[in-house]
Structure 1
Amino acid sequence: MSTDAFAASVGKGAALQNPRISEALRTGIIFGVIEAITPLIGWGLGSIAAEFVADWDHWIAFGLLLGLGSLMIRNGLRAEKAEATPVVRHSFWLLAATGFATSIDAMAVGVSLAFIDNNILITSAAIGLMTLLMVTLGVMIGRLVGKAVGKRAEILGGLALMGVGATILYEHLTM
């Protein structure tokens, strides 16, 4: 479940100017906490919202990631025109919105976990920890990608987010 968060974090890391491990961990913690909370929310909703979440989760994720990706591309194009200072740190809200967009499917998983004999707290903690690790690694990999592509890093990061959104939509529509 953390693969889409990993892909998004590579884009986030590429858009940053030389991110340090502390920024990668901050990003990983934000994504990990959100990814751990969404299955709990889904589990709590249980069968009440099962059909709604399952029917709309991919559209919500697609829309959010499309919007965030478009914003990154716009900022990347603007940076090319006027040599703006590179991004040193993403805002909490931008990271939280991206983390939420990549974890909506975890809410649907949480709904399904309500129907089986499963310790939801341990499962959610494991999901959150794995996301923390993958996102932290993704930001650091994005650091390398960002150095290789230079000014176009934010544009590529935006395209990556849009690609993640399109993949989520495609996978759900072809199931």
Structure 2
Amino acid sequence: MNPISLILLALAMSTDAFAAAIGKGAALQRPRFIEALRTGAIFGVIEAVTPVIGWLLGQVATRFVTNWDHWIAFLLLLGLGLHMIYAGWRTGADEPEAKRVRHGFWLLAATALATSIDALAVGVGLAFVNVNIMLAAAAIGLATLTMVTLGTLLGRVLGAVVGQWAEIAGGLVLILVGATILYEHLGAG
């Protein structure tokens, strides 16, 4: 995977967490930087671990599907991208939460896990292409830490509308990354 695809993948993986962070930040009463950083760290760690788990699962399956690996990666990313776009369109109907000063760890961890399911599936897809999973996981975790920290701080100002569009843009980027993997593989073959 080339560096640009890796950066795009990391950003795409962090957009759903960014969207959730905007919602979490909007639900807080004047979120401070330390709370935003704490939220970003929780999301970043979980988002970095899940693609490694997916990659390990994919490694087991690799020997059975090597002739179709590029199609599997493309279809997984296409499906996830379309799901993110669909979810982005649906988020406009969510009701805001009551204002609080700080979110509990388990609430943040559960939200981070929910937004990282796509990273697990991407990890499975990455097992079928030549990629350094530790580098990819670190990039995804760092991008998520940054995006969630910013999203939490911006949440109060920007609200759910930007979160909706961020998730839609992330879905489009995932589809683009999947198409790039397919193009690179078919072009090399």
1:24/1:113 CA distance change after superposition, 3 Å:
same
Q: Does 1:130 align with 2:143?
A: yes
Looking at structure 1, the residues matched to 56 and 156 of structure 2 have their Cα atoms a distance apart, in angstroms, of 37
Question: Which letter maps to 1:111?
Answer: V
Q: Does 1:118 align with 2:92?
A: no
SS class of match (1:97): helix
Question: Normalization by structure 2: what TM-score?
Answer: 0.61
Q: 2:38 aligns with which of 26, 49, 61?
A: 26
Aligned length: 151
Looking at structure 2, the residues matched to 38 and 139 of structure 1 have their Cα atoms a distance apart, in angstroms, of 22
**Contact 1:57–1:104 (CA under 8 A) maintained in structure 2:** no
Q: Deviations over 1:63-119 (max 9, x none)?
A: xxxxxx99x84x84xx5xxxxxx3111111111111111111111111121122221
**Contact 1:25–1:132 (CA under 8 A) maintained in structure 2:** yes
Residue in 1 that maps onto 2:19: 7
How far is the alpha carbon of 1:41 from its aligned partner? 0.5
**Contact 2:50–2:119 (CA under 8 A) maintained in structure 1:** yes
Question: Which letter maps to 1:114?
Answer: A
SS class of match (2:116): helix
Looking at structure 2, the residues matched to 97 and 127 of structure 1 have their Cα atoms a distance apart, in angstroms, of 18
Q: Deviations over 1:122-164 (max 9, x none)?
A: 110011001100111101111324xxxxxxxxxx75xx68x96
Question: Which letter maps to 2:17?
Answer: A
Q: 1:109 aligns with which of 122, 145, 151?
A: 122
Q: Mind listing any 5+ residue stretches in structure 1 that lack a counterpart?
A: 62-68, 80-85, 146-155
How far is the alpha carbon of 1:57 from its aligned partner? 7.2
Q: Mind listing any 5+ residue stretches in structure 2 that lack a counterpart?
A: 1-11, 63-68, 85-91, 176-189
Q: Deviation above 3 Å: which 4+ runs of structure 1?
A: 47-51
Residue in 2 that maps onto 1:139: 152
Looking at structure 2, the residues matched to 117 and 144 of structure 1 have their Cα atoms a distance apart, in angstroms, of 41
**Contact 2:15–2:167 (CA under 8 A) maintained in structure 1:** no
Counting aligned pairs with the same residue, the percent is 57
